[in-house]
Amino acid sequence: MGWQEEYQKKLVSVDEAASVIKSGDRITLAAGPSAPVDLVNAISARYKELTDVSITSGIIMYPFGFLKAECKGHILCRSIFVGPVERYCMPLGNIEVIPHQFSSVEYLLTQYIKPNVWIVEVSEPDERGYMSYGPIGNFVGDSTRKTASTTIVQVNKRTPYIHGLLGHVHVSEVDYICEKDHELPQIPYIEIEDVHKKIASYIVDMIPDGATLQLGLGTIANAVGYLLDSKKDLGIHTEMVTNSMMDLVNKGVINCSKKTFRPGKITCCFAIGSTELYDFMDHNIMIENMPITMVNDIRIIAQNDNFVSVNNALMVDLTGQVCSETIGFSTISSTGGQVDFVRGARLAKNGKSFIALQSTENTKDGIVSKICTAIPPGTAVTTPRTDVHYIVTEYGVADLYCKSIPDRVKSLIKIAHPDFRDQLTDEAKKAGLI
């Protein structure tokens, strides 16, 4: 039987594919723009028929019905990375967060979650019958498929076919196929503020020509991407491909010619951005998509000479502890790959890692300093102070690596907002830090 005949044999309607789910199923759902909207909506509509179903995913970009409070006890959402949709829906009480570093997510899913169903949106088959997992389905796609007893795919003609390692599934390897086309979820462009440009400018000044970059999620990291026009021969080894990277490729700034690991290739795991970005990645031989456990392996990251990692933070204490997930007990984001890239950069020849944040934040109680003497109770430390290299605000750069506590405190106070420096100095003295 050829793959075309097998495809037709496995082809069912969206509702028929949704009917495969039964009570007690442990589903892993592809994240972000690789989640099949129509299929998941159909599953969500069946919630009253189901009990004790879990869906493990992350960076959800659509307000699926299973996130609602009435789905408690029927379909539970487990998130390995909280995005805006999860954050908005979290007060409804049907989302559990699993703190975990991206480099070991595959272990989490295959050894602890142990899903029996894998659901992902895919491209149309190529001439050999292989379908691409699209922008983010390769995150843990192949390992999850091999763990699960059932694989359900939704074919969407708008899903880009992305080259890479373990990023494709053959028609013979899936159990059910349904078809429904729709536009992929996008991240709207957010205007970069002057303060973010200022922070980014400090980082850009420290990035040499020929460097290989990782840019994390967030406004400041994105601002760095848009300020690199003057650089030459940059490379990319990153979790996420962004619109700014696409623009730099088109301008010839990124060509990956100086990379020491996979030269000539943009090494990545996923992409979240605009339709133009997804089109840019479609059949682009410069893109080399890999599972997250490979991209975020510090031993692989370290093979990139002149590696530069840029990530964002919510707050930093005076000893250098970086908090990027919660403020108190309120979840804002997740662990992700920040620590992986901070450690990988440290191991790389001439590597650098930057943690960037604005010095202050407007809250309901007024303006507060994001460089603080002590972090609030319940706040999660994402990157330990022993791993941190550079901390950057709009007031400068603090080099913390291998520095004493007093030196760290003084350096961080210098890049805090001027209105808070005296207060931070007094608090540090009272705490015995300086």
Could you give the residue numbers annotated as active site? 239
For residue 392, the one-letter residue type is V
SS (H, E, C) the chain: CCHHHHHHHHECCHHHHHCCCCCCCEEEECCHHHCCHHHHHHHHCCHHHCCCEEEEECCCCCCCHHHCHHHCCCEEEEECCCCHHHHHHHHHCCEEECCCEHHHHHHHHHHHHCCCEEEEEECCCCCCCEEECCCCHHHCHHHHHHHCCEEEEEECCCCCCCCECCCEEEHHHCCEEEECCCCCCCCCCCCCCHHHHHHHHHHHHCCCCCCEEEECCCHHHHHHHCCCCCCCCEEEECCEECHHHHHHHHCCCECCCCCCCCCCCEEECEECCCHHHHHHHCCCCCEEECCHHHHCCHHHHCCCCCEEEEEECCEEECCCCEECCEECCEECCCCECHHHHHHHHHHCCCCEEEEECCCEEEECCEEEECEECCCCCCCCCCECCCCCCEEEECCEEEECCCCCHHHHHHHHHHCCCHHHHHHHHHHHHHCCCC
End-to-end CA distance of the chain: 75
Residue whose entry in the numeric block shows the structure tokens 């015995």: 432
Answer whether 299's CB lies under 8 Å from 368's CB: no
Longest alpha-carbon distance in the chain: 77
β-pairing, 130-132 vs 168-170, is antiparallel
* d(C-alpha 14, C-alpha 63), whole Å: 18
